[in-house]
Amino acid sequence: MPLVYGVALKYLKRPEDAQDAVMQLFEELIVKVKGSDIKTFKPWLYTCVRNYCLMELRKRTRNLSVSLDDSFMEFCDDFHLTIAGENEEREKALQDCIEALPEKQRISVNYFFLQELSYKEVEERTGFSLKNVKSFIQNGKRNLKLCLEHKGITSYETE
């Protein structure tokens, strides 16, 4: 049992999850032992525990809900896009930089930042995959920051 718990803890990280895994595994192993031709028990047991833990981790990631905020997406620093209340020079520079973006980035950035749609809504409107939408927005944001810096606007933050 300590061997099974140790392996489960190594994969699942949390003691409670490892304890649950040990209980589940022993229930399953009773059936598996009868139907398996086991030459060496310890490596067979290790493989069973490892496979069980990997399946549990896979189940978790399938059901995982992630907050896609700036820190998660690792967007460029504290750069935010907002036009309201900005002076005309900054507004013009932002519009010029948005227009200079590659088409897919421009479309995604417009929907996400200016029309304030979610990633899912951008995906639905554009037909791009969710992964591509996130990539286009992240790359577009980085490109906008570089473009604005090139135009002499180094800070484009809101309160």
Q: pLDDT tens across 127-153, in order?
A: 999 999 999 999 999 998 888 888 887
Local confidence band at 68 (pLDDT 50, 70, 90 cut-offs): very low
Q: Same domain, yes or no, for 137 and 75?
A: yes
Domain count, the chain: 2
Residue 15 burial class via C-beta count within 10 angstroms: exposed 0-12, middle 13-18, buried 19 and up = exposed
Answer yes or no: do 55 and 76 share one domain: no
The rounded percent of the chain whose pLDDT value lies above 90 is 22
Return the pLDDT at 131.
93
What is the residue type of 1? M
- pTM: predicted TM-score of the whole model, two decimal places: 0.46
**What is the model's pLDDT at position 59?**
80
Confidence at residue 70, expressed as pLDDT on a 0 to 100 scale: 44
User: Domain range spanning residue 115?
Assistant: 70-150
Residues 78 and 53 placed together within one structural domain of the fold = no
79 lies in the same domain as 56 = no
Q: Where are the alpha helices (DSSP H) in 13-87?
A: 15-35, 41-62, 70-73
146 and 110 within one domain: yes
Q: Tell whether 20 and 38 lie within a shared domain.
A: yes
Q: Does one domain contain both 48 and 77?
A: no
The chain-wide mean pLDDT, for the chain, equals 79
- Give the pLDDT of residue 77: 39
Sequence-separated (6 or more) residues with CB below 8 Å from residue 45: 3, 4, 29
Residues 96-111 as b/e (b if ≥16 CB within 10 A, e otherwise) read ebbeebeebbbbbbbb
Residue range 8-31: mean pLDDT, rounded:
88
